[in-house]
Amino acid sequence: MPQKNKLAKPKPGPSTQRYLDISEIRDDVVVMKDGTLRGVLLVSSINFALKSEDEQNAIISAYVGFINAFEYPVQIVIQSRRLNIDDYIDRLRKIEATQTNELLRVQTRDYLNYIQELVALGAIMSKKFFVVVPYNPLSDKAKGFRQRFAEVLSPVKILRLEDKRFTQRKKDLMERVGQVESSLGSMGLNSTMLDTQGLIELYYTSYNPEIKDTQKLADLRKMQVE
C-alpha cells in the first residue's frame, strides 16, 4: 500500500513579545525589561497660529523652559492616524431612515452626502500628543551610587519587579510625572496620565494599525480572571 504522507504541523513561531522592550503594564505604569519605568501623559493641543504675537512668544518661552527644566530625558510622541468615521456615517443613515420630519430628513441626507464627499476627497487624520516620562534608578542623583546600582541587579526579564521595589520606583516616577504636568500647564496644555487600559490600547494600536478597527480590545475592567 502506498505510504500516506503525513503533513508535519508547523512549529509555532516565537512570540512577538520577545522582540519588545516592554515586560509588563502594571498599575498605570509601563515596566521595561531592564527594570526602568515609563509613565505616559496624553496632552491637549493648542492652535498656535490663532494666537497673538505676544501669546506666541509666551508659549515659545514656556516651551524652552519646559525643555530645559529637567535633568532626565522626556519623549514627545505625535501619533497620526486615519480617522475612521464609518460608525458616524451609519448613525446618520439610521437617523435619516427614522426621521419623521421631511425637512430634517432632507437636511440629514444632504449632510450625509457632504461628509461622504469630504471623506472621498482625502483621508481625514486625527492626531494625538503624548509625553513619555521615564524613571531609571541609575539616573536618580538623589540616591547614592551603591543604592542605584543595587536596584538594577535583578533585571525584569529574569524576574518580575518585587512589589516593594516596584512601589518605590513608581513613587519616584510619579514625582517626575507631577513635574512634567506642572510644566505643561505653564504652556496652557492640559494633560492626563494614561491608566492601564489606556496604555494597552495605545501600544496595541501602535503595533497593529491595520487591524485596530476590526479587532477591538476588551475592557480589562470587565474581564474576569479565574
- Please tell me the distance from the alpha carbon of residue 18 to that of residue 185, in angstroms, as a whole number: 37
pTM > 0.85: yes or no: no
Record the cell numbers describing residue 217, joined without a space.
480590545
The residue assigned the cell 512570540 is 15
Q: Could you read off the pLDDT tens digit of each residue along the chain, which spans 226 residues?
A: 555 555 555 555 555 667 778 888 989 999 988 888 999 999 998 888 899 999 999 989 988 988 888 888 999 999 887 777 888 889 999 999 998 899 999 999 999 999 888 877 777 778 899 999 999 877 655 555 455 555 544 444 434 557 778 888 899 999 999 999 999 998 889 999 999 999 988 888 888 766 655 556 555 555 444 3
Helix (H) or strand (E) holding 191: strand 191-193
Q: Locate all alpha helices (DSSP H) within 34-162, ordered by sequence.
A: 53-68, 86-98, 102-121, 145-150
β-strands 22-26, 29-32 pairing? antiparallel
